[in-house]
């Protein structure tokens, strides 16, 4: 394993840093790093004084240290030990051009002469443009042969895009695999939350009782939001316009220091994205939703990445609702299929869900062995490519579920219960890293 020179990890925008020298140069003021042999778990700097932020970042660091060590071990069995392993986290597109700063001449020579291969890990992102940058920066600019690069994404759609890109550039296709990072992470975090951190070894499986076994609920749905995105803002406005916020546990933050100029920009950008929607006037009039914000549930510091935050605080909200309105990361068409922890959380908590997403997301979800709720929940939105119509269909179905009669709710619970139990077992029966891997 020592021949995998290092694993380095950067949260500051640079793509990677492979050597101790580069680590000191590029990460002097960044948040954390870890290396392959005897990984360090030291925080180098902090962006926030928030204890919640600090504890979450430390946990994230420790989790990723262990995860990347396991991945390196797994990949060495597939490709041998002569690898350089590049790790991505929050890569800014504008910083991709600086990737050359991360390679020493020795490393580049090893790659150019085909002594070693480069693992490009993008298993936490789903952005087609990173494939373009891999070709433009690694292959063309740095002269790394295509066959020395193994691209790891979190979407099976990358393979076709890589083929198209290679043909367009008249280059060879790089090898690609995909790894369901967030499916694995959601299960591990759920078990840790339920069992607690006092045990030295977490079990592979636990049991959990579905909220659907309850006969009464304080609210109808739960809807979590952290980062501002246009489709999330539009959803909030639609829920507000239809008086549905009262029926849900909803989180949504307001610009820092209640800066209304930023709010105007958010609202204006959202209106531009949905300017052709037949509900445009509803979105426009919902500007006043700002007066009831922020809506907080589990966190009040939105620097915290919800993917690495304990779910114990929202467990009670999940147990007091009968479905989740999941706001996935990507909504706009022409993006790769992308399943994050957001869709797997309701799986772990045995919660039915509607997902605000790109088309065919539910189809992708079912390809992993899970079932969805078609026939119980109207899932026709998953086949709708018109973004404006798709969001309206999602809100319409949310409204319908919020207005179920007691008899309809009982029927809903009885029909969904076998599905959520089945999905939970599918998740629990996946334990090895290769269970989340597909070439």
pLDDT tens digits for range 269-321: 999 999 999 999 999 999 999 999 989 886 665 555 555 566 777 889 999 99
pLDDT at position 25 is: 36
Question: Do residues 161 and 217 share a domain?
Answer: no
Question: Do residues 109 and 228 share a domain?
Answer: no
What average pLDDT does range 6-27 have in this prediction?
Answer: 33
- Is there a domain that residue 187 lies in? no
Task: Answer for the pair 358, 197: CB distance below 8 angstroms, yes or no.
Answer: no
pLDDT at position 71 is: 81
Question: Looking at the predicted structure, is the pLDDT value of residue 122 above 70?
Answer: yes
Question: Do residues 277 and 415 share a domain?
Answer: yes
- Is there a domain that residue 155 lies in? yes
More confident residue, 305 or 429: 429
More confident residue, 281 or 130: 281
Question: Do residues 239 and 138 share a domain?
Answer: no
Backbone φ and ψ for 311, nearest 5 degrees, come out as -90, 5
Question: Do residues 142 and 219 share a domain?
Answer: no
Question: Do residues 143 and 218 share a domain?
Answer: no
pLDDT in tens, 202-251: 788 888 999 999 999 999 999 999 888 999 999 999 999 999 999 999 99
pLDDT at position 61 is: 62
More confident residue, 103 or 288: 288
- Is there a domain that residue 366 lies in? yes
pLDDT at position 308 is: 59
Question: Looking at the predicted structure, is the pLDDT value of residue 111 above 80?
Answer: yes
Backbone φ and ψ for 257, nearest 5 degrees, come out as 60, 25
Of 179, 209, 224, the residue at which a domain comes to its end is: 179
Task: Answer for the pair 61, 41: CB distance below 8 angstroms, yes or no.
Answer: yes
- Is there a domain that residue 98 lies in? yes
Question: Do residues 398 and 353 share a domain?
Answer: yes
Query: Is omega for the bond preceding 220 within 30 degrees of 0, making it cis?
Result: no
Sign of CA dihedral 219, 222, 226, 229: negative
The percentage of residues in the chain with a pLDDT greater than 70, rounded to a whole number, is 77
Among 30-34, 171-175, 214-218, where is mean pLDDT lowest? 30-34
Question: Looking at the predicted structure, is the pLDDT value of residue 56 above 50?
Answer: yes
Q: How far apart are CA 220 and CA 409, in angstroms?
A: 10
Of 152, 179, 206, the residue at which a domain comes to its end is: 179
- Is there a domain that residue 192 lies in? no
Q: How far apart are CA 62 and CA 359, in angstroms?
A: 35
Question: Do residues 201 and 169 share a domain?
Answer: no
The percentage of residues in the chain with a pLDDT greater than 90, rounded to a whole number, is 54
- Is there a domain that residue 189 lies in? no
Helix, strand and coil in the chain, % to nearest 5: 50, 10, 40
* Interior/surface letters 97-133, b for 16+ CB within 10 angstroms, e for the rest: eebeebbeeebbebbeeeebbbbbbbbbbbbbebbbb
State the residue range of the domain holding 53.
Answer: 20-179
Question: Do residues 71 and 214 share a domain?
Answer: no
Q: Specify the pTM.
A: 0.84
Q: How far apart are CA 293 and CA 302, in angstroms?
A: 14
Sign of CA dihedral 85, 91, 93, 99: negative
Domains contained in the chain, number: 2
Question: Do residues 214 and 354 share a domain?
Answer: yes
Virtual torsion, Cα 104, 107, 109, 115, nearest 10 deg: 170
Question: Looking at the predicted structure, is the pLDDT value of residue 50 above 50?
Answer: no
pLDDT at position 211 is: 95
pLDDT in tens, 186-207: 998 888 888 765 455 678 888 8
Of 134, 152, 179, the residue at which a domain comes to its end is: 179
Q: How far apart are CA 221 and CA 351, in angstroms?
A: 10
> Where does the pLDDT of residue 22 fall: very low under 50, low under 70, confident under 90, or very high at 90 and above?
very low
pLDDT at position 30 is: 35
pLDDT in tens, 313-366: 788 999 999 999 999 999 999 999 999 999 999 999 999 999 999 999 999 999
Question: Do residues 242 and 140 share a domain?
Answer: no
Question: Looking at the predicted structure, is the pLDDT value of residue 429 above 70?
Answer: yes
Question: Looking at the predicted structure, is the pLDDT value of residue 26 above 60?
Answer: no
What would you measure as the largest C-alpha separation in the chain, in angstroms?
70
Q: How far apart are CA 132 and CA 166, in angstroms?
A: 9
Question: Do residues 208 and 122 share a domain?
Answer: no
- Is there a domain that residue 29 lies in? yes
pLDDT at position 302 is: 56
What's the CATH number where 269 sits? 3.40.50
Q: Which of 84, 88, 66 is nearest to 76 (CA)?
A: 84
Among 91-95, 145-149, 385-389, 420-424, where is mean pLDDT lowest? 91-95
- Give me the chain's average pLDDT, please: 81
- Is there a domain that residue 190 lies in? no
Q: How far apart are CA 70 and CA 64, in angstroms?
A: 10
- Spatial strand order of the sheet with 117-121 comes to 83-87, 117-121, 149-153, 175-179, 437-438
């Amino acid at each position: 394993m020592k021949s995998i020179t290092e694993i380095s990890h950067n949260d500051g925008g640079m793509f990677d840093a492979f050597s101790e020298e580069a680590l000191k140069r590029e990460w002097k003021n960044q948040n954390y790093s870890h290396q392959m042999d005897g990984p360090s778990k030291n925080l180098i700097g902090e962006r926030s004084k928030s204890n919640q932020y600090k504890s979450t970042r430390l946990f994230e660091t420790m989790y990723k240290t262990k995860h990347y060590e396991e991945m390196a071990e797994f990949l060495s069995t597939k490709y041998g030990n002569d690898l350089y392993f590049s790790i991505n986290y929050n890569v800014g597109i504008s910083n991709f051009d600086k990737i050359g700063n991360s390679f020493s001449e020795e490393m580049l020579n090893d790659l150019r002469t085909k002594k070693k291969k480069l693992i490009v890990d993008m298993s936490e992102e789903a952005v087609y443009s990173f494939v373009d940058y891999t070709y433009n920066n690694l292959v063309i600019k740095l002269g790394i042969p295509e066959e020395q690069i193994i691209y790891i994404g979190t979407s099976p759609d990358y393979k076709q895009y890589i083929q198209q890109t290679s043909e367009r550039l008249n280059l060879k296709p790089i090898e690609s695999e995909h790894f369901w990072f967030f499916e694995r992470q959601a299960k591990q975090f759920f078990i840790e939350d339920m069992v607690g951190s006092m045990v030295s070894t977490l079990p592979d499986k636990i049991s959990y009782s579905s909220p659907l076994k309850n006969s009464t609920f304080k609210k109808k749905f739960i809807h979590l939001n952290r980062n501002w995105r246009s489709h999330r803002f539009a959803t909030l406005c639609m829920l507000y316009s239809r008086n549905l916020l009262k029926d849900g546990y909803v989180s949504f933050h307001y610009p820092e220091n209640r800066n209304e100029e930023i709010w105007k920009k958010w609202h204006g950008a959202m209106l531009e994205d949905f300017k052709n929607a037949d509900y445009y006037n509803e979105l426009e009039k919902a500007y006043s939703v700002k007066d009831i914000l922020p809506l907080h549930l589990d966190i009040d510091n939105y620097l915290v990445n919800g993917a690495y935050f304990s779910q114990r605080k929202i467990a009670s909200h999940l147990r007091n609702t009968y479905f989740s309105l999941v706001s996935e990361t990507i909504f706009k068409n022409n993006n790769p299929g992308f399943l994050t922890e957001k869709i797997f959380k309701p799986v772990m908590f045995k919660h039915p869900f509607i997902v605000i997403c790109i088309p065919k997301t539910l189809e992708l979800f079912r390809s992993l062995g899970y079932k969805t709720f078609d026939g119980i929940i109207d899932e026709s939105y998953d086949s709708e490519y018109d973004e404006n119509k798709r969001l309206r269909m999602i809100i319409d179905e949310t409204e319908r579920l919020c207005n179920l009669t007691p008899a309809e709710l009982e029927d809903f619970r009885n029909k969904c219960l076998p599905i959520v139990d089945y999905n939970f077992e599918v998740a629990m029966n996946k334990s090895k890293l290769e269970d989340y891997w597909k070439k």
